[in-house]
């Protein structure tokens, strides 16, 4: 079987990172994320792209968003170097989805389907240990050490108000992407509210059926 080319979609908190890691281990493919691809190619020469800066690094150093055209070029580069991949965090909008259609032929598009209520519950329950940076969850993954539990903090971006705004922005940008793949007949919905092991069984079976 050729190495599969997989796109994984899902809202913040849907479990994309967990499932992507399992896909990487099981199928021997690269986990390509926009952040990693940017970091790996931050000194790429983009002087021919009529952009404000000549490398992605300069945007990142200024704390500015890297333009879509540059992100597209970097993702294209990362995918061309990969022998099979699971792409996570891209495309974030319909224009990027159309760019991706030109870059590669996907074997399967997975969508981890989780209700907003469950996503809010998962994200607002996250806590960080300020001393180690480790992430816990008050319900699903509490620390065993009471001392650690006592010093846990909720990060600003995990408050209910912030979480709901992040989900609103995600929906606004990404719903057209989901519709795009649904209309193409490529979208495979997976119930992301199951236990992680059950989600994985469905993900694995879906990839094996498609590849």
List the catalytic residue out of 57, 92, 164, 189: 92
What is the DSSP pairing of strand 30-33 with strand 85-88? parallel
Could you list the residues known to form a binding site for ATP, using ranges. Answer: 13-18, 126, 135-136, 194
The span from the CA of 89 to the CA of 10, in Å, is 9
Beta strands in the chain (DSSP E): 5-9, 30-33, 85-88, 108-113, 126-128, 135-137, 187-191
DSSP state of 185: T
Nearest alpha-carbon partner for 196 in 5, 17, 9: 17
The span from the CA of 172 to the CA of 159, in Å, is 20
DSSP state of 93: S
The span from the CA of 89 to the CA of 34, in Å, is 6
The span from the CA of 74 to the CA of 68, in Å, is 10
List the catalytic residue out of 16, 22, 122, 127: 16
The span from the CA of 57 to the CA of 41, in Å, is 8
In which element (H, E) is residue 95 found? helix 94-103
List the catalytic residue out of 57, 151, 166, 189: 166
The span from the CA of 184 to the CA of 165, in Å, is 29
92 catalytic, yes or no? yes
Could you list the residues known to form a binding site, using ranges. Answer: 13-18, 34, 39, 64-66, 89-92, 96, 126, 135-136, 155, 166, 194
Could you list the residues known to form a binding site for AMP, using ranges. Answer: 34, 39, 64-66, 89-92, 96, 155, 166
- Active-site residues, by number, are 16, 92, 126, 155, 166
């Amino acid at each position: 079987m050729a190495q599969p080319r997989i796109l994984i979609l899902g809202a913040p908190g849907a479990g994309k990172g967990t499932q992507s890691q399992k896909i990487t281990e099981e199928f021997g493919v690269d986990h390509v994320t926009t952040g990693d691809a940017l970091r790996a190619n931050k000194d790429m020469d983009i002087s021919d792209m009529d952009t404000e800066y000549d490398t992605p690094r300069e945007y990142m150093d200024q704390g500015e968003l890297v333009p879509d055209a540059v992100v597209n070029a970097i993702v294209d580069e990362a995918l061309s170097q990969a022998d099979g991949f699971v792409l996570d965090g891209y495309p974030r909008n319909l224009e990027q989805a159309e760019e991706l259609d030109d870059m590669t032929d996907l074997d399967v598009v997975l969508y981890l389907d989780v209700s907003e209520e469950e996503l809010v519950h998962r994200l607002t329950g996250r806590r960080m240990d300020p001393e180690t940076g480790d992430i816990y969850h008050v319900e699903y993954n509490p620390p065993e050490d009471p001392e650690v539990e006592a010093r846990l903090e909720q990060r600003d971006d995990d408050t209910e108000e912030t979480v709901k705004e992040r989900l609103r922005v995600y929906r606004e940008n990404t719903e057209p992407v989901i519709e795009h793949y649904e209309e193409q007949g490529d979208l495979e919905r997976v119930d992301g509210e199951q236990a992680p092991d059950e989600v994985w069984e469905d993900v694995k079976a879906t990839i094996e059926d498609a590849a």
